[in-house]
Structure 1
Amino acid sequence: MRDLIELVEYFKACNVAVKSVTEPFDLNTPIGECVFNMMGNFAQLEHKTMMERINLGLRRRWEQGKWKGGVPPFGYDYNKETEKLEVNEEEAKTVRKMFRHYLRVKSIRMVANYLNRKGTPTRNGGKWIDSTVGVILSRETYNGVLKIGDVVSKLPELRIVGKRTFEKAQEIRKKRRTFRPRRKHEEPLMEGGVFCHNCGTVLFGEMRYCPECGTKQMRSGIQCVNEQAVP
């Protein structure tokens, strides 16, 4: 409503007359301006009321464990009859594999590389990337919890990984986020002087704050099986 009033005032300042095609009021008169403001307020009230009803409906669905809509997370299918999520066992195997490997290597990038090297496809048959793996590792749905705003629904039937496994993964993610970011001008420790024990390629420094094997990251098709990095 405020934006609309400011727009009308701007037009007036530019000597531009504003008239309604559907309503018989004249904004160039005090009465017409009053009617315009009243109708705008009622329209705003109607919009807010409608949004409250929509949010209330979504809240009730969430409390009942029903899916909010959209594409279900990786590891789940949407049941149209119950309007709820169901575990997709084939995808769930990949999710469990992600969490297990993450607890071992403590690196999202290494998890993505591991899945790609094993030929484990995404839902669309593509390659895994860091951001997708990161979202999966942080999604509480895999621990049997649905959240929307302040509404929390505990649904054990949706649990794909154990509670302790999920909590350990979050602890690792939190610790890694607290690492001090390296400034761009800083030289990585021992860069150029340390080599991969498996293929002999020089290790490079990257934002994981540890050197990794450069051959492992190449997109040319050359792949090194060394999964470890210098701590």
Structure 2
Amino acid sequence: VEEHLDMNYFAMLAVVGKMEIDSIKARTQLGREARIKMGKTHGKPPYGYNYNQDTGCFEINEDEAKVVRQIFDLYTQGIPIRRIAALLNSSGIHTKMNSRFGWTATKITEMVGRTFYCGEAYYNKRYGVTNKQKEKSKWLAMPIPPIINRDTFELVQSRKQANKRFSARKTKTVYLLQHLLLCQECGMHFYALNRGDGRRGYACRGVREYPHLYHCRTPMHIPAPEIDKIVWDKV
């Protein structure tokens, strides 16, 4: 009987604890929403911005903003994402957190897709657990000073869509060793490479994504038919 009572007691404590956690989350959410309705911002400032402790808002970091404008300008000129990353790294320009990987294609792709940079940012866009987007009526606009104009942003989005349509990667080709090969020098995976002229192969991701860090001696392109045949002959 005593053991049964103990279990009930702990179950009750668990319920009370859950209620308290939910209450804290709700109060925190209400507090954040109240701040934003007062014209404040929430979250960590992205590249190009600083957080002003006195005003509770993001303000433009002019040194970083020059880099942001340069990135958007280069992209509108048709400069490939990876070349932009290489230019920034070779110029000694650091990322916000000064990551050892520096600027990457992933970082820049994410940056040029953010409406934040043309002054459009929202809080409460998604549900916390599922990350599902909420109805737009529930979004709360945050006051963000724009670094680029809306026309430039839209031009970049048009170029991104065009690049997706004409990308060779849209070809659904099956590669035997995709995600399986590792570079013996940098340890990163090889990626499947389709040159668009019928030549298929594998190449080191470290050399492609982080050329300022890795200078692997592995050939930039290993023909897929040759290495696939070696594997099939061993099976």
**TM-score in terms of structure 2 length:** 0.60
Runs of at least 4 residues of structure 1 off by over 4 A? Answer: 217-220
1: distance between equivalents of 2:194 and 2:115?
37
What amino acid is the match of 1:153? A
Task: Report whether the alignment pairs 1:136 with 2:123.
Answer: no
Matched residue of 1:77: which SS?
A: strand
Q: 1:189 aligns with which of 176, 196, 206?
A: 196
Partner of 1:149: 124
1: distance between equivalents of 2:153 and 2:78?
15
> Structure 2: which 5+ residue stretches go unaligned?
126-138, 176-192, 216-235
Greater relative CO, 1 or 2 (CA 8 Å, sep 6+): 2
Alpha-carbon distance change, 65 to 138 in structure 1, aligned in 2, over 3 angstroms: farther
Q: 1:80 aligns with which of 53, 58, 62?
A: 53
Task: Report whether the alignment pairs 1:56 with 2:30.
Answer: yes
Q: Between Structure 1 and Structure 2, whose CA radius of gyration is higher? A: 1
1: distance between equivalents of 2:156 and 2:162?
10
What is the RMSD computed on CA atoms of the aligned residues? 3.3
1:39 offset after TM fit, Å?
2.7
Q: Greater CA deviation, 72-81 or 54-63?
A: 54-63
Identity of aligned residues (%): 26
1: distance between equivalents of 2:8 and 2:151?
62
> Structure 1: which 5+ residue stretches go unaligned?
1-24, 193-203, 207-213, 221-231
Partner of 1:108: 81
Partner of 1:225: none
Matched residue of 1:68: which SS?
A: coil
- The number of aligned residues is 173
2: distance between equivalents of 1:65 and 1:98?
29
1: distance between equivalents of 2:84 and 2:78?
8
In the alignment, is the contact (CA less than 8 A) between 1:145 and 1:152 conserved in 2? no
Cα shift readout 1:90-110 (whole Å, capped 9, x = no counterpart): 111110110111112163212
